[in-house]
Structure 1
């Protein structure tokens, strides 16, 4: 599968509102999902990671340079995903991977 590279795209990580730099640049077109993976040894205390997708940010970054100011995920409109075409290129086989699936429990 070949996806077009999006010049100027980047993924940055922030810790307490301070940019830790660009982790990835000029990414291939597609969807990216936030994730974290940690490992601690048995004699170490547990590692804790907290994602904050808004709308109330505890440490909102002050300087974004030329980049657009991010919006909370709750403000991002939902768009359906056509798995047969991604980045303008038809894909032979696709799998849809929802970011979030809400299930209502029976009372």
Structure 2
């Protein structure tokens, strides 16, 4: 059981949502927090490209997302989201077809 304060923190932070759902066994694309450009480059090496860069807060309906198709595009993707001081994380690219199929199965 989580406290109301923990729930509010999770609801306001997309990265914490991913961590919470992952702990519950919900299948998700691989993800990791990034704090600087070196961390973003390591994520690119680990997950490959394209790489989805995401804002931890104030992100919804595609807002707060940027795609880096190569490590050369990482700085501009990070800049488009306001930089690292706002809190960013990355997700391994998930083909839309897979996401769509999962959506159909769950509904």
**Which structure carries more helix by proportion?**
2
User: RCO greater where, 1 or 2, for CA within 8 Å and sep 6 or more?
Assistant: 2
